[in-house]
Every structure is written in C-alpha cells, then in structure tokens.
A and B are shown apart, each in its own frame.
Chain A
C-alpha cells in the first residue's frame, strides 16, 4: 500500500503532552473534539493545516511520556497517514500499532518540512519527491505486523477471539 502526502517536521522528544495536552483531559471521551488540538503544544497551527494523508515527521524518542492512547488515536483521526521518526518511545509505538497508525523508524534528518513524500509500506521505502531521495525504514516486528494487518488490536481480537501472534 502506498501513501502520499506532505511532511510536517517536528524536533526531538515530542511528548504525549505535546500531542494531547493535559489541559484537554476533559475531551478524552470526545475524540473528534480532542483531535482539533492534536500536537498543539508543538505547533499551534498543525491541526488546521494538516490534510488527510500527510505525514508527521519527528526526531528521536517520538511519543515519550504518558501511556495515553488518545495521542496516536488523534494523530490518526486528524488524517495522518504515518508517523516517521528516528526512534519512538515504547508505549506510544505499541499504542500506534494497536490503533492502526503506521509508525516508521528511519533517518528523518534528510526530510524537510513541507516535502512531498511517498511511502510504500510493503516495500519498506520512503521517497522524498521534493529532495529526490529514497529512505528505507526498519521493518516492524512480526507480532506488530499481524496486529496492524488485522486493523489494530480490537480488530485482531474480534477476528481471532484471542491473541494469535505465531
């Protein structure tokens, strides 16, 4: 499956507090409303500028901090096709797969804000069409591919009635 969109570049250590700020705690049971504030403390204008299919591009340790699954969920709800980063915090990474948001580990230094990207999830390739460069990303562990292909963890359990990861 190929994804097309524009890169929104962020720095290192984007925390779940940047993505889903605590002051909107009361919107956690109203995800479409919470999604209007996605990444607000990293870039106030992101939620109004992002278009379906665009990419969030971070540096190292993307998603550190709280276990709030609302963080990857509202990134997905905002229409983001995938998050690319040099590394991810553990809980965010697992949550993203569970909610069906592709998270790709690659060298994001060469991607600039606003670049047009094409991501081929199966081939493991990212094409930066603006810069005319190609990047590969680290393949996901098999367990996570299974969950992602089933459409997330809820869909996985609905389909198999149990964990079926072998």
Chain B
C-alpha cells in the first residue's frame, strides 16, 4: 500500500513503517514559539527544570505579535524570551524581524522536516513539504526540551486542483472557496494534501497562502509535494542543498478526494464572523468598508505587494477609507522597498507598520471602532479578532483589498485585468538586491546566535549558511 506525504514523513521520523491512525512519538526538527505563547512555554520548562534544549539552533523564539510592544506587560514578556534565548542558545527573532510563519520558512524549514509551533498557523510550512502543525505552549515547550513529541498520524484528504486561475483570481480565493465548501471543521484532525496541475504551476508564495489556511478547515497540516518550485525557492534562500523531492505514492490511501477546477473560480470573500461564511465577489460587492489591511502570515509576501501595487499605482484611495500595509518580514520589507512598492502604496494613501502580525492580533495598530467593517487579507474573522468585538471583519485576496481601497466598497479585482497583466510593471526584484535583503534579514538573528554560541560551544551552524550564497 502506498503512502501519503504525512505517512512518509512520519515513517522517516519514527524509524519504522507507520500508517494513518497510529499514535507515535516522533523526533522534531524545528520548533517555534511567539511572544503570546512563548512566555508560558518558558514557565512550563522552568517548572519542569528542563532548560536544556534538544536543538537550540533550530528552536526559534519570535517577537512578532505585539511588536514593538504596545504595553509594559508585553515588553516584559519580550524580555522573558530574550533572557531564555541567552540562557539556552535558542534563536531569537527580534521585534521588527517579522512574522514567525514567514521567517521560519524563509530561514529554517526544509522538505521532510517536522515543525511544531505554539501558533495555529504553523501549518504554513506544509508548503515546503514539511509536516508542520500548531500546538499549545506546553506541548511545544516539552518538544523543545526533549526533541520529540507524540502525534496521531493523520488520515489525509487529497485536494486535486486543475485549471488555470482567471486574471484577478488567486490562491487566497481558492483556499477560501475550499473552506466554504467543506466548512471550518471539515478537515478536523486530518491532513490536507494539495496537488494537481494548478498546484504544480503555483509559485512558492501562493503555496504558503494555501498551506497557511489549512487550519481554518480544522486540518492538522496542509501539505504540498516538494518539487522543482520548492528547489528553486530553497536555492534562492541559500539552502538549495537541503532540497529533496517528496511526493505521495500513486496508490496512497486518502479518506476523501476533493476536486476543484480553478478556471471557474471567482474572487471570494468570507463574511463575519466565521471563515467558512464565504460568498462570491458578486454577492459581496458594494459593502461599505472603513479599513483595509494588507498583511499577516497569509498574504504579506512580495507577490502580494506586487499585485496590490499594480492595481493601485497612480491612483488615490477612496476618501474615508484607511489602508494599513504590513510586510511579513524584514526580508519582504527590503524586497518591496527595492521594487518601489512602498512608494506606490504611500502615494496611493496607505500607511505602514513594521514587519509583524500588525492588526491581526487585536492588540495594537488598527483596532476598528464599534460597527466598523474591515476588509483584510487575514486568515481569520472571528468576533473580536482585531481587538473590538463590535467590529466586523471580511477576508479576501490582496487584489480584492486593492480594488476595495480604490472604491471604498467591496469591489471586484477582475476589472483591473489590464494592470494585473501589464508587462511594463516591475515584477522581479534584481538578484543583488535580493541577496542584500536576505543577508540583512539574517543579521539580528545571527548576532544573538553567535553571541550564545561563544558561551555554549560551536553548535550554531544552520543560520550562517545563507550568507555564503
């Protein structure tokens, strides 16, 4: 009997043949916590007197959810993580370096890895064909210390995607459509495996968007085979040697197969207050919006900024609408600067926050007023998510956010087909600038790592590789 991607990764990590449904204890390659979940993880390890980490060079602490800190309590939580990094040799991703799910995949995650993170969107790493899943602080804390944790090997739903995306329709629309189709609990305890020609032809950045939202259907992981696109991405990020092909066997056993032809897909919008409350753009158009937000671990990479910049270039936002844009990482920030997208968005009327989770956590920068409606590229629209239970959150693609910012009401991005397909628009950042951005993104992490390495002995290797390319 053939194996799914999830089964293959678990077989390797457990060292024997395993099947869906089995409970296993498996080795962990990479683990992460962030400023909302990390302090509790640290306190649990103190309680257990387990302060030696199994893999400090691949244990990463992120200051991204409230960054820079909005209150003294959160500043002190940041310090808890800084001190823990110094004490244990864990890697620290400082304030301003970006969102955990963006940075961890830029720098640390390789195909075939197991990644656990104390954040539900850890499933983003599935796009690199790593079994990546979110857990609570205690689970991740113990995983960090022991280098392993227990899993139930999940059954898999195969999502077979065919066709070509119409202009103005994107990966975000596909994943919103799927969640609307199967429901917010449609894949609970399961792994999703995305495959088919439309996935094979998809950029790495769009794949991250897809895997990121697997958890919004309840799934434990959202996996995509490791192929030539994965290889090129890893080469670009300076770790081409970590690439290997991984795919499910042809005769793998799936619990369910879902087929979607994207040629018929329309821009989608999730209405308040659940992600599976999806409607097509025709049903959504015309809703008056007070604030739009481009950002989060779902849609804050260069490709997302490219789409928005194309649509808004040379225009002015609608009066009365606020536009907040937040790059996902220091690396993305540098890329969008070099491409001139900050300037395009600034002239359009957008404002910027530093790389991080931004308004998605509801603690700072962008809390809506009572009764206000926000259209965002976020992955979640639960009541209160942006800090006010009396605000309403709509979810859509970056293109729909851009079209809406122009018109002030939810608008169809397909009408900007000319802008979206223009050949004269800058789409690729020059490689020298890209290399500079990568090195710059590494610097803060590198510094902490080197300092700690001096105290603890030579074990910080992974993070310096990127510099040599």
Interface residue ranges, A against B (CB under 8 Å): 13, 15, 17-18, 21-23, 25-30, 41, 60-61, 64-70, 87, 89-91, 94-95, 98-99, 141-143, 152-154, 157-158, 162-163, 165
CA distance A165 to B119 in the complex (A): 25
Stretch at the interface among B51-59, B73-81, B249-257: B73-81
Question: Contacts A18-B382, A18-B383 hold; do A28 and B36 have CB atoms under 8 A apart?
Answer: yes
Contacts of A21 in B (CB 8 A): 362, 384, 389
Across the interface, do B380 and A65 meet the contact criterion of CB distance under 8 Å? yes
Question: Contacts A67-B37, A165-B150 hold; do A25 and B363 have CB atoms under 8 A apart?
Answer: yes
B384-413 near A? 1/0 per residue, CB < 8 Å: 111111000000000000000000000000
Tell me, yes or no, whether B40 is within 8 Å of chain A by CB. Answer: yes
- Nearest first, the 3 A-B pairs at minimum CB distance are A22-B362, A69-B136, A95-B136
Number of interface residues of B (CB under 8 A): 57
Tell me, yes or no, whether B356 is within 8 Å of chain A by CB. Answer: no
Contacts of B383 in A (CB 8 A): 15, 17-18, 41
CB distance from A96 to the nearest CB of B (A): 9
Contacts of A25 in B (CB 8 A): 36, 65-66, 74, 361-363
CA distance A41 to B383 in the complex (A): 7
**Partner pick for B40 among A13, A28, A61, CB 8 A cutoff:** A28
Contacts of A87 in B (CB 8 A): 185, 188
**Partner pick for B23 among A64, A69, A143, CB 8 A cutoff:** A143
Across the interface, do A153 and B138 meet the contact criterion of CB distance under 8 Å? yes
Contacts of A29 in B (CB 8 A): 39-40, 73, 76-77, 80
Residue of A nearest to B25 (CB): A163
Question: Contacts A28-B40, A99-B138 hold; do A61 and B362 have CB atoms under 8 A apart?
Answer: no
Across the interface, do B389 and A28 meet the contact criterion of CB distance under 8 Å? no
Q: Give me 5 other A-B pairs in contact (C-beta within 8 A), A26-B74, A29-B80, A89-B218 excluded.
A: A13-B274, A21-B389, A25-B66, A64-B185, A94-B136
- Can you list 7 A-B contacts with CB-CB less than 8 angstroms, sorted by A residue number? A18-B383, A41-B384, A68-B36, A68-B136, A90-B188, A154-B47, A163-B148
Residue of B nearest to A143 (CB): B23
CA distance A158 to B137 in the complex (A): 16
CA distance A141 to B151 in the complex (A): 12
**Partner pick for B385 among A22, A30, A69, A91, CB 8 A cutoff:** A22
**Partner pick for B44 among A61, A95, A154, CB 8 A cutoff:** A154
Residue of B nearest to A152 (CB): B138
Residue of A nearest to B276 (CB): A13
Residue of A nearest to B41 (CB): A69
Looking at chain B's contact residues, is the secondary structure mostly helix, strand, loop, or mixed? loop
Contacts of B150 in A (CB 8 A): 143, 163, 165
**Partner pick for A28 among B77, B139, B188, CB 8 A cutoff:** B77
Across the interface, do A69 and B40 meet the contact criterion of CB distance under 8 Å? yes
**Beta-carbon contacts under 8 Å, B177-195 to A:** 184-185, 188-189
Question: Contacts A69-B136, A162-B146 hold; do A26 and B362 have CB atoms under 8 A apart?
Answer: no
Across the interface, do B387 and A22 meet the contact criterion of CB distance under 8 Å? yes
Across the interface, do A141 and B118 meet the contact criterion of CB distance under 8 Å? no
Contacts of B220 in A (CB 8 A): 90
CA distance A27 to B74 in the complex (A): 9
CA distance A26 to B78 in the complex (A): 11
Residue of B nearest to A71 (CB): B136
CA distance A57 to B165 in the complex (A): 43
**Partner pick for A65 among B117, B120, B152, CB 8 A cutoff:** B120
CA distance A162 to B40 in the complex (A): 20
Across the interface, do A17 and B382 meet the contact criterion of CB distance under 8 Å? yes
Contacts of B37 in A (CB 8 A): 67-69
CB distance from A10 to the nearest CB of B (A): 13
